Chain A
């Protein structure tokens, strides 16, 4: 399989944005293309989770391609719920790896802050099993069930979960692209409004707008794609044996490391899918980055902080950089590329090998992507 490189990266500031989604995606895509020195890529992959529901727009690959001035470029859309960006990256990677195209643009974005929060939650919740949804299950509800199981098995403590939010807010305070720029204290997290017991507001990521883009190429560039892996699980959470570990995480990690030909010990830093703070702790262990039962302890000890042994979510993560759904998987990779090439200023962490991890739905369609500085 030929090597695939990342030649350009771009993203918008994440947060409450007044521009149309197409404009945000154009900003990100034009930035990535300019950096790659490419005006027209061979093809493009568009990631958007719910543009029909959020915006009323359909035929979204052509919609975005035309807006960007790339109407003559073959375009497809990829959707795997909240991991759509990572899945679209995989589709772009596969096109280049297969030798079908020399350069592929992948651009993901979402816009939803113009709608009321209950409406946004309901639209995102359509990615949940219909029977569970008929009992009022939302993403926070399912995350609440998982968090209760984690606490009951004494796998993590509330203080350790709070530390994930504290750390990620502290990182985002140094990221001009982040939704939240202000730090939070453990007390603020642990006393914030109850959402889905025992999960509180400051354990949850915000509703954000934003877009991110990458250009993949067969030509040698500063960052190489070392491996991509996908893992899946049942749509229904009730069909799973365990609530405290995600099979889709474990399978995706195994596949990505197998493709890369190395193991988790080579990872210098990672962007993990912390839509809910306890998910960062679950994923740290599922991906083999820390030994079973240790995720909470290493987080509290500062090992996953910016100056720790294994910095996790130097961008601020979904928790604080924000979670513009289909942009997120790509924004994580943009952060990894910028970190690997020393372009992030005060939040710079050292390292040559990075991992990005994206969860689709309630861990039904997960991705692990490994990038390596060349």
Chain B
């Protein structure tokens, strides 16, 4: 899982990735930040005649990152993938790819991140709350 460069609007707190100089909604400079490369699939498609410079079939997804921004990236395959699937994002030669996380990988990631936070119990509670919240408010 890669940390993804992003930026935050000091006015509306919106986060966009990759970083933008100005907030799309306010004429103010954004503050650099990073967001963890994990999130949920908002939608995905497979192009059967990809544009020049890309191989067909080309998998493209929009991912809602846990840090708040939505991100566009490639994927190696979409077998078993659904809207709402958990994915991790990795950079290979500066190009971002999502990979579908199975139950085992999700659990491993969960414990690793909980460990990093230092306080395992609180981290678990936070992550669970966030998951429930995301499920309730996801727009599309």
Which residues of A are interface residues toward B (Cβ below 8 A)?
A: 118, 121-122, 125, 131-132, 135-138, 140-141, 144-146, 148-149, 152-153, 193-199, 234-244
Contacts and interface: CB of A to CB of B under 8 A. Distances in A.
B140 A193 contact: no
A135 to B, nearest CB: 5
Contacts of A137: 60, 72
Contact of B139 (A196, A235, A237, A242): A242
Contacts of B128: none
A234 to B, nearest CB: 5
Contacts of A136: 47, 50-51, 53-54, 58, 60, 74
A153 to B, nearest CB: 6
Given A137-B60, A239-B24, A145 B48 contact: no
Contacts of A195: 47-49
A238 B62 contact: yes
Interface string B73-110: 11000000011000000000000000000000000000
Contact of B140 (A118, A194, A243): A243
Contacts of A193: 48
Given A136-B60, A239-B16, A149 B83 contact: yes
User: What 7 pairs between A and B have smallest CB-CB spacing?
Assistant: A144-B45, A145-B43, A238-B70, A136-B54, A152-B83, A197-B46, A149-B43
B58 A148 contact: no
A140 B45 CA distance: 10
A197 B54 CA distance: 17
B72 A131 contact: yes
A196 B140 contact: no
B52 A122 contact: yes
A138 B72 contact: no
Nearest to A238: B70
Contacts of A144: 45-47
A196 B47 contact: yes
A123 B45 CA distance: 21
Given A118-B52, A136-B54, A141-B60, A239 B45 contact: no
Nearest to A119: B52
A238 B51 contact: no
A122 B53 CA distance: 11
B44 A148 contact: yes
A135 B24 contact: no
B86 to A, nearest CB: 16
Contacts of B44: 145, 148
Residue of B25, B47, B72 with highest tally of chain A CB at under 10 A: B72
A21 B82 CA distance: 45
Given A135-B74, A238-B72, A243 B42 contact: yes
A138 B42 contact: no
Contacts of A238: 62, 69-72
A145 to B, nearest CB: 4
Given A146-B43, A196-B46, A241 B52 contact: no
Contacts of A153: 140
Contacts of A235: 24
A269 B85 CA distance: 41
Contacts of B49: 118, 195
Interface string B33-66: 0000000001111111111111000101110000
A292 to B, nearest CB: 14
Nearest to A239: B24
Contacts of B67: none
29 contacts: A122-B51, A131-B18, A132-B72, A135-B73, A136-B47, A136-B53, A136-B54, A137-B60, A138-B47, A138-B51, A141-B60, A144-B45, A144-B46, A145-B44, A146-B43, A148-B44, A149-B42, A149-B43, A149-B140, A152-B43, A153-B140, A195-B47, A198-B45, A234-B24, A234-B25, A238-B69, A238-B70, A239-B24, A243-B62
A240 B62 CA distance: 11
A196 B45 CA distance: 6
A153 B84 CA distance: 11
Residue of A135, A149, A237, A243 with highest tally of chain B CB at under 10 A: A135
Nearest to B84: A152
Residue of B42, B45, B61, B70 with highest tally of chain A CB at under 10 A: B45
